Structure 1
Amino acid sequence: MAEAATTVLNSRVPEGPMAEKWDRCKKEMKLVNPANKRKKKIIVVGTGLAGASAAASLAELGYQVQSFCFQDSPRRAHSIAAQGGINAAKNYPNDGDSVWRLFYDTVKGGDFRSREANVHRLAQVSNNIIDQCAAQGVPFARDYGGTLANRSFGGAQVSRTFYARGQTGQQLLLGAYSALMRQVGAGRIQLFPRREMLDLVKIDGVARGIIVRNLITGEFEKYSADCVLLCTGGYGNAFYLSTNAKGSNVTAA
């Protein structure tokens, strides 16, 4: 009887101590010359906070970008539902916050099921994410002196949540959408709305393209690139009870 094939999940987390993993990875990473970036094509699947920001940033760096959107507009991405705020270890109130404390609180809040190396990297770049969002025009709440306001949120013992009233997800998404559409208007991003990703094309073990369904015509379409970014979000509707939108299904994953 033939044995069932087993799939090995490789997270490709860099070696080394937790606090040094990604800094060492950045130092050892091969870079692309600015003159060569214009020759490289990148597919970004998803236009939520991650997808729209990634596509806009890559286009600004000079890459050719193709952006694929499940909805009829990137503004309808489910990132709009994250309304409470966004955490960063800026330690503005000087109440003892740090990258390590944000890392620990996030892992603990995830019931210790998160991939710790990735959570630590998220905590490291959290401050830059707030700065990027502000640069994209997100109207964060500010205190009387004009600096960014923050509040304690989600059981954290420090004040680290940056917010825009009760509309944080919406305002973050509109900021990322504005940056995305600026690059679409400049001709650096091709936007493909109403496409549902069905499969990933791998060549010699490397992602080189995707298969999508055109939700208007029903046709299957194929696209190739030098690199594929999957920013397809969660899939809460794989479960019986979910507050996610119906589009948050497991198809892309």
Structure 2
Amino acid sequence: MSAIQKVSEHIRQKGLRATLKKAWKHYVFSHQELLWMERDLVSPVPPHKLKPYPPLQVVAITPHNTGAFARYFGDRVDTMAELAAEGHTGQMHLDDQGDAVAFIWGASRNYHDRHYYGCWFPVKEGEFFEFGGELSRGYWGTKLSMDLQTELWKAMLAQGCNKVVDVCEWHNIPALKLHIRTGYTEQGRIMNVYELFGRWRFYRETRYTGSRLDTLRKPERSPAATSVA
């Protein structure tokens, strides 16, 4: 399909306004807001209704076992090897075929994200920066989204960390809701990522007061609302 055909198809599906907006963000100017979140490593995860999943094996990622990513994350094999060689703590969850179906990373020092956002994420003493968590499609909506994190927390706690910090894109509503379910709190900081003409990136940290996530929280039902007359 040619570029013109792709544009025509996008206009047909999304409309002209949405297509122009996407083109502007891709080719001219874009701005992403990354909300800083934090959590301790020992408080229990709040109750949830996520689906169970078959048993998996948790394995530390090394520069020599990244072939396990080939089936579900084939484009990440080299990146996984690079991160492991840099000394970051990575874990992958393997199915009974030995294929990685999920992975996650933690950095106990300042982390330079040269693979995605391109900026530095500072890490204070006692903290670790959690990044790169991903599940293959077959495990979306399962308890693995929680276990993926808690298994990493155990490993980082053993290394002397007592807090996890990470960032979440403001427009990624499912990820923000997962953070709420997992018990994260907002730090009131935003890493702003600006991109100009698809080539130049600029970064700036801003702060805010109050909560930007309250609108995503489910309202608590009062006893009066649940009682039967």
Relative contact order, higher structure (CA 8 A, sep 6+)? 2
TM bucket normalised to smaller? under 0.3
Q: TM-score, length-normalised on structure 1?
A: 0.24
Pick the structure with more strand per residue: 2
